[in-house]
Amino acid sequence: MELFLATFGALFSIMNPLGTVPVFVGLSLENTKKERAVIAFWTSLNACIILLLSFFAGKYILSFFGISIDALKIAGGLIIASSGFALLTGKFAEHKGMKRKRVEEDIRSRNEISLTPLAIPMLAGPGTISLLITYNQEFQELQDKGIIIGALLFTTICIYLILKSSYLIVKFLGASGINALSRIIGFIVIAIGIEYIISSVVNIISHLNL
């Protein structure tokens, strides 16, 4: 249960579906309620597939490029922490490349938004992917992997429910409420990233002292 909660907390914080809500609302203004529900479903499903592929293919990616787990955790920690700073400073969309004029024009002229930009990079970004690759290397027991997959699936279900209810969330919380929650989550995400960096550095130093 502890691993499930820790995985869910880390994934939910880094993916930050609440930060995606304003983007989802802005890109689906012309859609009906039923169409928005379909977009929310496919967005969460696409994110789930991407993260499952990252989790199971992680060790092969590391092996192919000759990357150690400590190097990955430091790089992932930096990416996660930078995402947290973007949330904390209110520049999450800009950090994800959503504020570039040509990108915005391309997105608004595109019929299918569930894969990009919603699933990638808003939800399944490099921070989340590196986290799952790290989990794949750290937890080798079949039971642990099953728990992590369960937490991943539960996270994507939550994402679907949040995106489906995005218009109600915006109406209830307002822009300031979502912004405040995103900043709180940003602080947690920074702590997760720093924790990964510290654990890797400690592990490297301990091996040097042997």
Residue 102, judged by CB atoms within 10 A of its CB (0-12, 13-18, 19+), counts as: exposed
The pLDDT of residue 107 is: 45
For 14-45, what is each residue's pLDDT tens digit? 888 887 887 788 778 778 888 899 999 999 99
Ranges under pLDDT 70 in the chain? 90-112, 209-210
* pLDDT on residue 160: 95
pLDDT for res 109: 44
Q: Specify the pLDDT at position 179.
A: 75
Q: Could you give the CA distance from residue 61 to residue 201 in angstroms, rounded to a whole number?
A: 22
pLDDT at residue number 162:
93
Q: Of 143, 121, 142, which is closest to residue 54 (Cα–Cα)?
A: 121
Q: What is the pTM of this model?
A: 0.74
